[in-house]
Amino acid sequence: MGASKTDHFSILHNQMASIAKALGHPARIAIVEFLAKTDACICTDIVDILPLSQPTVSQHLKELKSAGIIQGTVEGNAICYCLNQEVLSMLKEFIGKLANVKNCC
């Protein structure tokens, strides 16, 4: 095996999992935090702050994009990436529900 049995789970569960999975790498956490903290959202800036090669960063950006967490708009020569609030709000709401439960043990 090696592939998840996605067919057996609900759309919501698969969606939440894919969003969480996309955030499941320190480089991608660093990217979204950078996008949240700075106004600059040019790809080069992201490559500059990460200890990874340009192709690797490009790959991480692609994963965040395909999970819907970020979006990129062409700006002349460069590409401006920014956070997608809609998707992040969904995750926030889901985590919020988990984080308000009293422990039973």
Binding positions for DNA, rule: CB under 7 A: 1-5, 21, 24-25, 27, 42-44, 47, 52-56, 58-63, 72, 74, 76-79
Q: Contact letters (x/-) for a copy of itself, 16-55, by CB under 8 A?
A: xxx-xxxxxxxxxxx-xx-xx--x-x---------xx---
> How deeply is 22 buried, as exposed, middle or buried, from its count of CB atoms within 10 A (0-12, 13-18, 19+)?
buried
CB of 81 to DNA, least distance (A): 8
Chosen from a copy of itself, DNA, none, partner binding at 42 (C-beta under 5 to 8 Å by type): DNA
Stated as kind and residue range, the H or E segment containing 104 is: none
Helices (H), 23-105: 26-37, 43-49, 54-66, 85-98
Query: Is residue 78 a contact residue for a copy of itself (CB under 8 A)?
Result: no
> How deeply is 28 buried, as exposed, middle or buried, from its count of CB atoms within 10 A (0-12, 13-18, 19+)?
buried
Q: How far is it, in rounded angstroms, from Cα 30 to Cα 77?
A: 24
| Positions that interact with a copy of itself (CB under 8 A) | 4-6, 8-10, 13-14, 16-18, 20-30, 32-33, 35-36, 39, 41, 51-52, 71, 73, 75, 80-85, 88-89, 91-92, 95-99, 101, 103-105
